Structure formats: C-alpha cells, structure tokens
Amino acid sequence: MRADLSIMWVEDTTSWYTEQKDLLNMDIESLGIDIEFTRISTIDDFYKLVRNDNTGFSKYDIFFVDYALSSDTEQKGSNIIVKLKDMGLTTDILFYSSKNIREIREIVKKDIEQFEGIYLADRDKDFRDKSFQLV
C-alpha cells in the first residue's frame, strides 16, 4: 500500500533542511510513504502564498515550522502558525527550535495561545524522531 503526504516546511537554513529532508525520506522509505515537500524560507514567502491562494494550504497534511527564521525578531515561525490557525486550518504542525522544549512551550503559550494540533521539537535533539512519528 502506498500513501502520499504533502508537507510544507518553513525553514531558512538550506543545508539543515536538505539534511533533515533526506533523513526523513530514508526513515519512511520502507513504509511505502511518498512525501512531497514544499519549502519556504521566509515569512514574506508565506504571505505571498497566502495572498495568491489562501485555500491551497488545505492541501498540506503537515506543516514543519521553525521558530527562528532569521536574525530579524519579526521573522518568527509562530507568526505563521497564528495565521494558519486564523485561516481555520486544523492540520498538524511540528513547531521546532534550537531552544529547549520548555522555552518552546512558553513561546506557544505567549505567541499562539493554544496547543491543539501543535507538536513541539528541539531542533538539535529530537526533530528527526518527532517528524518521523508525526508522518
């Protein structure tokens, strides 16, 4: 049986994205799952997609969203999650950061104000395991 998934991945570091994408593909290869990845690297790219086709976001089965998208404090992945929730999407989101899990939870409480459908990962410690579990 073959299953297909579509994942939107919001990540600004190309080398890390490529490495993790390859690892995830390798992990799920034997499960008969084919993943189509769409990567965006900035909040501006995300908002351009929203303006062009905000209904198209429902085609994604999962979102992977990095918290720190650049050194600019306005470029936070939590802004994207808030927008997705405002659009009424109930798609699962893996929200990750190099900060520890406790800090990520505080960010979610402060910036997003809800946990429903949001899974948290430490970028350096458990992203690979949690992304595999979510898939």
Summarize pLDDT for 108-134 with one digit per residue, the tens: 887 777 777 889 999 989 999 999 999
Residue 73 scores a pLDDT above 70 = no
Q: Scan for tokens 């993790």, then name that residue.
A: 20
Confidence of residue 58 (pLDDT cuts 50, 70, 90): confident
- What residue segments make up the domains of the chain, in order of their start? 3-134
Nearest 5°: phi and psi at 3?
A: -125, 145
> Residue 57: pLDDT band by 50, 70, 90 thresholds?
confident
Written out in words, the top-level CATH class of the domain with range 3-134 is alpha beta
The one-letter amino acid code at 60 reads Y
Query: Is the confidence at residue 1, as pLDDT, over 60?
Result: no
- Model confidence, pTM: 0.87
Question: What whole-number distance in Å separates Cα of residue 124 and Cα of residue 5?
Answer: 24
